[in-house]
Amino acid sequence: MHLMVIGGAGMIGARLVADLVAKGGLNGRAVTHLTLADVSLAPVPEGFSGKVTRVAVDLSAPGVAAQLIATRPDVIVHLAAIVSGEAERDFDKGYRINLDGTRALFDAIRAEGLRAAYCPRVVFTSSIAVFGAPMPDRIGDEYFRTPLTSYGTQKAICELLLEDYSRRGVFDGVAIRLPTICIRPGVPNKAASGFFSSILREPLVGLEAVLPVPDTTRHYHASPRAAVGFLTHAAGIDTALLGSRRALTMPGLSATVAEQIEALRAVAGDKAVALIRQARDEDVATIVAGWPRDFDAARATALGFTAESSFEEIIRIHIEDALGGKLG
Amino acid sequence: MHLMVIGGAGMIGARLVADLVAKGGLNGRAVTHLTLADVSLAPVPEGFSGKVTRVAVDLSAPGVAAQLIATRPDVIVHLAAIVSGEAERDFDKGYRINLDGTRALFDAIRAEGLRAAYCPRVVFTSSIAVFGAPMPDRIGDEYFRTPLTSYGTQKAICELLLEDYSRRGVFDGVAIRLPTICIRPGVPNKAASGFFSSILREPLVGLEAVLPVPDTTRHYHASPRAAVGFLTHAAGIDTALLGSRRALTMPGLSATVAEQIEALRAVAGDKAVALIRQARDEDVATIVAGWPRDFDAARATALGFTAESSFEEIIRIHIEDALGGKLG
> Above 80 in pLDDT, residue A328?
no
- Average pLDDT in chain A: 95
Residues of chain A with Cβ-Cβ distance to B130 below 8 Å are none
Distance CA A185, CA B53 (A): 60
The count of residues in chain B is: 328
Alpha-helical (H) ranges within chain B are 11-23, 64-69, 84-89, 91-94, 102-115, 150-167, 194-204, 224-236, 257-273, 282-289, 298-302, 311-322
List active site positions of B: 151
CB-based contact B132 A244, cutoff 8 Å: yes
**How confident is the model over A5-38, as pLDDT tens digits?**
999 999 999 999 999 999 999 999 999 999 999 9
**What are the b/e assignments for A109-118, b being 16+ CB within 10 Å?**
bbebbeeeeb
Mean pLDDT to the nearest integer, A185-213 = 92
Architecture of domain A2-178+223-249 in CATH? 3-Layer(aba) Sandwich (3.40)
Segment holding A54, helix H or strand E: strand A51-56
Q: What is the pLDDT of residue B91?
A: 97
B182 by Cβ neighbours in 10 Å (0-12 / 13-18 / 19+) ranks as: buried
CB-based contact B164 A153, cutoff 8 Å: yes
Amino acid making up residue A211: L
Per-residue pLDDT of chain B in tens (328 residues, 90 and over written 9): 999 999 999 999 999 999 999 999 999 999 999 999 999 999 999 999 999 999 999 999 999 999 999 999 999 999 999 988 899 999 999 999 999 999 999 999 999 999 999 999 999 999 999 998 888 999 999 988 889 999 999 999 999 999 999 999 999 999 999 999 999 998 877 778 999 999 999 999 999 999 999 999 999 999 999 999 999 999 999 999 999 999 999 999 999 999 999 999 999 999 999 999 999 999 888 888 888 999 999 999 999 999 999 999 999 999 999 999 988 6
| Smallest CA–CA distance from B153 into chain A, residue | A160
Residues of chain B with Cβ-Cβ distance to A156 below 8 Å are 160
CB-based contact A144 B148, cutoff 8 Å: no
Measure CB to CB from residue B160 to each of A157, A167, A244 and give the nearest one: A157
Cα dihedral A106/A108/A114/A118 (nearest 10)? -70
Chain A positions touching chain B (beta carbons under 8 Å): 91, 110, 132, 142-148, 150, 153, 156-157, 160-161, 163-164, 167-168, 244-245
ipTM > 0.90 for the complex: yes
Distance CA B93, CA A101 (A): 20
Cα dihedral B41/B45/B50/B55 (nearest 10)? -10
How far away is chain A from the Cα of B159, in angstroms, using its nearest Cα?
10
Report the helix count and the strand count for chain A, using DSSP H and E: 12, 12
Backbone torsions φ then ψ of A7, nearest 5 degrees: 90, 30
Distance CA B10, CA B255 (A): 26
Concerning whether A143 is annotated as a catalytic residue, the answer is no
**At a CB cut-off of 8 Å and minimum separation 6, what does B51 contact?**
B32, B33, B34
Mean pLDDT to the nearest integer, A246-273 = 98
Distance CA A193, CA A291 (A): 10
pLDDT band at A283 (very low <50, low <70, confident <90, very high): confident
Residues of chain B with Cβ-Cβ distance to A91 below 8 Å are 110, 168
Q: Fold for B2-179+223-249, please state it.
A: Rossmann fold (3.40.50)
Q: What is the pLDDT of residue B268?
A: 97
Distance CA B185, CA B197 (A): 8
Q: What is the pLDDT of residue A208?
A: 97
Q: Look at the alpha carbons of A52, A56, A62, A65 in this order and tell me if their dihedral is positive or negative.
A: positive
> Above 80 in pLDDT, residue A188?
no
Q: Are B170 and B108 in contact (CB under 8 A)?
A: no
How far away is chain B from the Cα of A192, in angstroms, using its nearest Cα?
20
| Smallest CA–CA distance from B149 into chain A, residue | A164
Interior CA angle at B164 toward B162 and B166, to 5°? 65
A244 by Cβ neighbours in 10 Å (0-12 / 13-18 / 19+) ranks as: middle
Distance CA B110, CA A249 (A): 33
The count of residues in chain A is: 328
> Above 90 in pLDDT, residue A189?
no
CB-based contact A161 B157, cutoff 8 Å: yes
Distance CA B36, CA B71 (A): 12
**How confident is the model over A114-153, as pLDDT tens digits?**
999 999 999 999 999 999 888 899 999 998 888 999 999 9
Active-site residue, selected from the candidate residues A95, A151, A165, A220: A151
Residues of chain B with Cβ-Cβ distance to A158 below 8 Å are none
> Above 90 in pLDDT, residue A326?
no
Show the beta-strand stretches assigned E in A202-309: 209-211, 218-222, 247-249, 253-256, 276-278
Backbone torsions φ then ψ of A174, nearest 5 degrees: -140, 130
Q: What is the pLDDT of residue A187?
A: 81
Q: What is the pLDDT of residue A133?
A: 84
Chain B positions touching chain A (beta carbons under 8 Å): 91, 110, 132, 142-148, 150, 153, 156-157, 160-161, 163-164, 167-168, 244-245
Residues of chain A with Cβ-Cβ distance to B84 below 8 Å are none
Segment holding A180, helix H or strand E: strand A180-181
Q: Look at the alpha carbons of A16, A18, A19, A20 in this order and tell me if their dihedral is positive or negative.
A: positive
In the beta sheet, which residues pair with residue A29? A26
Distance CA A194, CA A211 (A): 10
| Smallest CA–CA distance from A107 into chain B, residue | B92
CB-based contact B144 A142, cutoff 8 Å: yes
Q: What is the pLDDT of residue A19?
A: 95
Measure CB to CB from residue B144 to each of A144, A153, A161 and give the nearest one: A144
CATH 3.20.20.100 at B194-220+252-293+308-322, yes or no = no
How far away is chain A from the Cα of B133, in angstroms, using its nearest Cα?
9
| N-term to C-term CA, chain B | 41
CB-based contact A244 B148, cutoff 8 Å: yes
Rg of chain B on CA atoms, in Å:
20
**How confident is the model over A207-250, as pLDDT tens digits?**
999 999 999 999 999 999 999 999 999 999 999 999 999 999 99
| Smallest CA–CA distance from B134 into chain A, residue | A244
Q: Which of A139, A146, A248 is the best residue to mutate to test the B interface, defined by the most B CB atoms within 10 Å of its own CB? A: A146
CB-based contact B168 A160, cutoff 8 Å: no
CB-based contact A153 B160, cutoff 8 Å: yes
Whole-model pTM: value is: 0.96
CA atoms within 13 A on the CB side of B65: 21
Distance CA A278, CA B2 (A): 55
User: Taking CB atoms and an 8 Å cut-off, how many pairs form between chains A and B?
Assistant: 52
- Structural domain boundaries of chain B? 2-179+223-249, 194-220+252-293+308-322
| Smallest CA–CA distance from A150 into chain B, residue | B164
How far away is chain B from the Cα of A152, in angstroms, using its nearest Cα?
9
Q: Name which of A167, A83, A177 is nearest A124 in CA terms.
A: A177
**How confident is the model over A79-88, as pLDDT tens digits?**
999 988 899 9
pLDDT-above-90 percentage for chain A: 90
What SS3 string covers B101-170? HHHHHHHHHHHHHHHCCCCCEEEEEEEHHHCCCCCCCCECCCECCCCCCHHHHHHHHHHHHHHHHHHCCC
Residues of chain B with Cβ-Cβ distance to A168 below 8 Å are 91, 150
